[in-house]
Amino acid sequence: MGMRDTTQYLAEELGMWVDQGPGPDKNTWGCALLSKFPIVNSTHHLTPSPAGELAPAIHAVIDAYGELVDVYVFHSGQEEDVEDRKQQSEYMSTLMGQSSRPAILLSYLVMEPGKGNYNTWVSEKSGMRDIDPSDWDRWCEYILYKNLRRSGYARLSRGTVTDTELQVGKFVVGQPEDLSAGLVPEAEVPQDMRFPSLFKGEGVRGHFYHVFDEPRYYA
């Protein structure tokens, strides 16, 4: 990045905490975590790669309104090596399964929903759940969670700017997870729990809610 620390810049401009995971000095492309909540602890991981495409991961613990929450950031390889993917998914599943705290995974997995290694990421071993298993239109980005109440999920189009699509999840700490929770209309959702109306319809400069055409909210 031309010797510019973009994560530090964003953290300062947005008033957030930042953790830089393994980077190019560890023979990987790197990953980072920006958090509006204090980062209490963090460990960095280089996941297994028989083919040599090391995938970086962060396991951070944040203090969210007085409750400790695990946040995992993972970026898998682009080469889609079968054995790499298998070992990396098993490594991360074991890591996530070792904690009983509430947890969120922010990830770039490059896989088809419901098939193959998906069932290692979303499994009894990891304890993680898919934020919305009915979202069929995914390949790269996935949000998984456990021991939190999910309240919202939105997909925001990248417009004409490649690799800028957003997947956004909303969760509530300190409340039990309702595994049978269904969808609720936005009118029943408190104002401060809603997604911005700015991106409804045509949105802004080509960025708009897509796939479902609107945010989703859960009871």
**First-to-final CA distance of the chain:** 43
- Rounded CA separation 210/151 (Å): 18
Residue whose token pair is 């400790």 = 68
Q: Which member of 45, 59, 75, 207 is catalytic?
A: 75
CB atoms within 10 A of CB 215: 21
| Catalytic residue list contains 75 | yes
Provide the annotated active-site residues.
Answer: 75
